[in-house]
Amino acid sequence: MKRIASRDNPLFKELRKLSSTSQARKHAGLSVLEGLHLCQTYLAVIGAPRHAVFDAQRLDRPDDCHPELLALHDHVPADRQVWLEGKLMQDLETVQAGQGVVFVVDTPAPSLPDRITESCVWLDRIQDPGNVGSILRSCAAAGVRHAFLSEETAFAWSPKVLRSGQGAHFSLTIHEQVDLEALMARLDVPLVATTLDDAQSLYGPALPPKAAWVFGHEGQGVRPALQQAAQVRVHIPQEAAAESLNVAAAAAVCLFEQRRQRLSAQ
Amino acid sequence: MKRIASRDNPLFKELRKLSSTSQARKHAGLSVLEGLHLCQTYLAVIGAPRHAVFDAQRLDRPDDCHPELLALHDHVPADRQVWLEGKLMQDLETVQAGQGVVFVVDTPAPSLPDRITESCVWLDRIQDPGNVGSILRSCAAAGVRHAFLSEETAFAWSPKVLRSGQGAHFSLTIHEQVDLEALMARLDVPLVATTLDDAQSLYGPALPPKAAWVFGHEGQGVRPALQQAAQVRVHIPQEAAAESLNVAAAAAVCLFEQRRQRLSAQ
């Protein structure tokens, strides 16, 4: 276990750089997880992080310390622990009321599968980190294990997407910067696009039990090339006067309608 | 039509105060709508605003101006128009790339109905403005017209909730600062709570065709008093390993499952 008291410490400088710039994280192939829930989930699902950074001020006074922080610390191997003294922890935490723990972990970089044979989601230029995180969370909850994110989709391992994903990242395989149009050649399941044009009702003919769902840009929707290539085009029947649904809400409705049909077929 | 060129103009000072502080808006009973889409929707659904504030720099050069901004301006009565010269518009806009239009409108303050006889949503201490806006948008899309927001729920007419609601506000009746426990006495439809304990599957017995859906705090869920009082408790069947869904995603799944059942019964 290392204790660091100085801002000039080389490891602290490295940690600070990682927590403050996405370039540094991408360059190093590392991600930063903040807060109890994300770190607990990582430890339970994946295992020990590269560095588990704790606020020494809290751990040094176990009687005042949040019991979940103490328990988390107990489960991390000592050689991965970094304790920061004084106010150093606050330099690392990006949220105002930090919880005294930050993990530095390897960002997964899975290689593309030769063939896509399972249900998955494709995110086509979804900009808002909250939407991307919410969709990943809905995938994990619905039992969809693979996500393919186009260029211009929010970076999945950014702090905002991680926060909104609430740990879903660790039970999914997430591919980023994917050329979705080229990916179509690898599909062994139907591509299903949500669209308003020339589409069947989500509640019409039965959905394919396995599918690649493509959800699109908040304003422009799914790009035309993918809409046209889709084997199934569905729309969610809505009130005439209403705007279309938020994309993360629409994704949840679609993935859980497929799940409902799957459960009722069992 | 008024043209304003000086920051010392009393109307400009009033507009600036309204756009910059929620206290000023609440005190005056006014809300500020930013951008083409919200203003267009307001004009189409509700009518003329109190003030329609335009960027004179854009309207003065119609050849370079966004055609939707010109069209919007054409539909607003001249006596409601305020044109801001120079850089004054940028003082009002809260987003970086503003679209040159801001409406000041009356914040609706509907009185509570004596009896609740239609489907509605109850939001119990939902903190995140994006979640509140997304749920309001899902309500409008699903044909649910009434929302009751507890104390500690994000203020529905804040800029962030308005942006996330995408105009849904104008087709709903939104009650705020509601004592939800007291509201139960007015219910003529069943209260349905989403919960993990002692709950039927959302895909189990048929849902009530009309219901008051209560969705709760991002971390703590629906408060126990409302859970216990609910006539129906439902859970969304999820993968065992997954975290629960984001509350706005869960609300969309529930409201559209009710809609699916309603449509299939017709």
pLDDT digits over A29-52, tens only? 999 999 999 999 999 999 999 999
Whole-number CA gyration radius for chain A: 21
Judged by DSSP in three states, A221 sits in strand
- Which has the minimum average pLDDT: A73-77, A78-82, A194-198, B102-106? A194-198
CB-based contact, B40 to chain A, within 8 Å: no
Prediction ipTM score: 0.93
Residue of B nearest to A245 (CA): B138
Is A237's CB within 8 Å of B259's CB? yes
Tell me if B115 is assigned to some domain: no
Check whether residue B153 and residue B188 sit in a common domain. Answer: yes
Of B143, B236, B245, the CB nearest to A239: B143
Alpha-carbon gap: B140 to the closest alpha carbon of chain A (Å): 6
**Among the residues of chain B, which ranges form H helices?**
10-20, 22-28, 36-45, 56-59, 67-75, 88-92, 129-142, 159-165, 180-183, 224-229, 247-265
Q: What pLDDT shows up at residue B243?
A: 64
Terminal Cα distance for chain A, rounded: 51
Check whether residue B126 and residue B228 sit in a common domain. Answer: yes
As a whole number of angstroms, the distance between CA B131 and CA A178 comes to 28
Check whether residue B152 and residue B35 sit in a common domain. Answer: no
Is A166's CB within 8 Å of B246's CB? yes
Check whether residue A60 and residue A127 sit in a common domain. Answer: no
Domain boundary among A80, A106, A132: A106
Domain boundary among B62, B82, B106: B106
Residue the block writes with tokens 């995408």 = B166
For an interface test with B, the pick among A245, A254, A258 (most B C-beta atoms closer than 10 Å) comes out as A245
Tell me if A114 is assigned to some domain: no
| Other C-beta atoms lying within 10 Å of the C-beta of residue B59 | 16
Alpha-carbon gap: A235 to the closest alpha carbon of chain B (Å): 12
Output the CA torsion sign for B91, B94, B96, B101. Answer: negative
CATH number at residue B188: 3.40.1280.10
Rounded mean pLDDT of chain A?
A: 94
Tell me if A187 is assigned to some domain: yes
Check whether residue A173 and residue A239 sit in a common domain. Answer: yes
CB-based contact, A243 to chain B, within 8 Å: yes
Q: What pLDDT band is residue A198 in, cutting at 50, 70 and 90?
A: confident
- DSSP string across A112-134: PPSSB-S-EEEEES---HHHHHH
Task: Find how far residue B219's CA is from the centre of its chain.
Answer: 21
Q: What pLDDT shows up at residue B242?
A: 64
Q: Which residues contact B243 (CB under 8 A, 6 or more apart)?
A: A41, A137, A140, A141, A166, A167, A168
Of B137, B164, B263, the CB nearest to A203: B263
Q: What pLDDT shows up at residue B252?
A: 98
Residues of chain B positioned with their CB less than 8 A from the CB of A238: 141-143
As a whole number of angstroms, the distance between CA B79 and CA B18 comes to 20
b/e code A124-140 from CB counts within 10 Å (16+ = b): bbbebbbbbbbbbbbbb
Write the CA distances from B185 to A29, B114, B191, B216, integer angstroms.
Answer: 56, 10, 11, 19
Alpha-carbon gap: A44 to the closest alpha carbon of chain B (Å): 11
CB-based contact, A167 to chain B, within 8 Å: yes
Tell me if B111 is assigned to some domain: no
Residue the block writes with tokens 């000086």 = B6
A127 and A216 in contact (C-beta within 8 Å)?
A: no
Check whether residue A86 and residue A160 sit in a common domain. Answer: no
Write the pLDDT tens digit of every residue in A119-148: 999 999 999 999 999 999 999 999 999 999
Write the CA distances from B149 to B63, B132, B176, B224, B229, integer angstroms.
Answer: 45, 9, 5, 17, 17
**Burial, A37: exposed, middle or buried (Cβ in 10 Å; 0-12, 13-18, 19+)?**
middle
Tell me if A152 is assigned to some domain: yes
Tell me if B113 is assigned to some domain: no
CATH number at residue A91: 3.30.1330.30
Check whether residue A195 and residue A101 sit in a common domain. Answer: no
State the total domains in chain B: 2
Q: What pLDDT tens digit does each residue of chain B (266 aa) get?
A: 999 999 999 999 999 999 999 999 999 999 999 999 999 999 999 999 999 999 999 999 999 999 999 999 999 999 999 999 989 999 998 887 889 999 999 999 999 999 999 999 999 999 999 999 999 999 999 999 999 999 999 999 999 999 999 999 999 999 999 999 999 999 999 999 998 778 899 999 999 999 999 999 998 999 999 999 999 999 999 987 666 899 999 999 999 999 999 999 87
CB-based contact, A56 to chain B, within 8 Å: no
CB-based contact, B44 to chain A, within 8 Å: no
- Closest listed residue to residue B7, CA positions, set B85, B79, B102: B85
CB-based contact, B141 to chain A, within 8 Å: yes
B38 and B163 in contact (C-beta within 8 Å)?
A: yes
Check whether residue A204 and residue A180 sit in a common domain. Answer: yes
Check whether residue A258 and residue A126 sit in a common domain. Answer: yes
As a whole number of angstroms, the distance between CA A154 and CA A157 comes to 9
Q: What pLDDT shows up at residue A122?
A: 98
Query: Which residues on neighbouring strands pair with residue A84, listed in sequence order?
Result: A4, A55
B191 and B211 in contact (C-beta within 8 Å)?
A: yes
Check whether residue B174 and residue B244 sit in a common domain. Answer: yes
Check whether residue A128 and residue A102 sit in a common domain. Answer: no
CB pairs under 8 A between A and B: 115
Output the CA torsion sign for A22, A252, B161, B84. Answer: positive
Tell me if B12 is assigned to some domain: yes
**Among the residues of chain A, which ranges form H helices?**
10-20, 22-28, 36-45, 56-59, 67-75, 88-92, 129-142, 159-165, 180-183, 224-229, 247-265
Is B171's CB within 8 Å of A259's CB? no
Task: Classify the phi-psi angles of B167: left when phi > 0, otherwise alpha if psi is within -120 to 50, otherwise beta.
Answer: left
Q: What pLDDT shows up at residue B166?
A: 93
CB-based contact, A245 to chain B, within 8 Å: yes
Tell me if B127 is assigned to some domain: yes
Is A237's CB within 8 Å of B263's CB? yes
The token duo for B139 is: 């309500």
What are φ and ψ of residue A173, in 5° steps? -100, 115
As a whole number of angstroms, the distance between CA A68 and CA B166 comes to 39
Domain boundary among B59, B82, B106: B106
- Helix (H) / strand (E) containing B121: strand B120-124
Check whether residue A7 and residue A73 sit in a common domain. Answer: yes
Residue the block writes with tokens 């055609």 = B67
| Other C-beta atoms lying within 10 Å of the C-beta of residue B77 | 11
The token duo for B171 is: 């087709």
Is A256's CB within 8 Å of B257's CB? yes
| Other C-beta atoms lying within 10 Å of the C-beta of residue B199 | 17
Q: Which of residues 78-117 of A touch B (CB under 8 A)?
A: none
- Running DSSP on this structure, what letter comes out for residue A168? G
- Domain containing A39 equals 2-106
- Running DSSP on this structure, what letter comes out for residue B207? P
